[in-house]
Amino acid sequence: MLLAGLALALVAAVTVALVRWRPAIFGATLPTALGALFLAAWWLLDVRWEWNLLRQTAATADRYAGRNLDEKHLAAEDAALYAFIQKARAALPAQPARVFVAADEHYFRGRAAYHLYPQNVFWSPDANLLPPSASLRPGDYVVIFQRRGIQYDRAQQSLRWEGMNPIAAELVLAEADGAIFRVL
């Protein structure tokens, strides 16, 4: 952007100097000079955009080229979520079960739900909510990823979150960023 601004200032200075030097010759072509100035500035911005596009294409190729789908997911920005969800899929039953997903970030809730299909996944796209404890049944699963406010008592096999009564649950998987619980 600085380069384009400098070029625009240089072209403007040259145009003004030419108009002052030969006003009779260049005064009549001032609209043409301004048009040329506009096209030169446009061209400089376009060159910069193309340069950025080439750099981004090279960075994307370095990150993803020649990798299979799992490797591409593990190279992406949300690799930690994908790695956790792969472990979660292995821990969940083969037959679709009710799975409730919770995460502080909307992106993680939606992305986790997407990767958990074909399970019967429930998540709130609008708010960081878990269902009321009364609506959970034995055999349901609760998948947590980077969510505050979840408390689990391993000795009593009791799970609770803000404002809810504790429910009986078994810890199925525990990772640094997430956990899976099966409602008992």
Q: What is the pLDDT of residues 34-61, one digit of tens each?
A: 777 888 888 888 888 899 999 999 998 9
More confident residue, 95 or 131: 95
Distance CA 103, CA 127 (A): 10
Q: What percent of the chain has pLDDT over 70?
A: 84
Domain range list for the chain: 2-64, 71-183
Assess whether pLDDT exceeds 70 at residue 136: yes
More confident residue, 181 or 36: 181
Two tokens at 44?
């400089």
More confident residue, 54 or 131: 54
Q: What integer is the mean pLDDT of 62-67?
A: 89
Those residues whose C-beta lies under 8 Å from the C-beta of residue 18, and which sit 6 or more positions away, are 26, 33
pLDDT at 37: 80
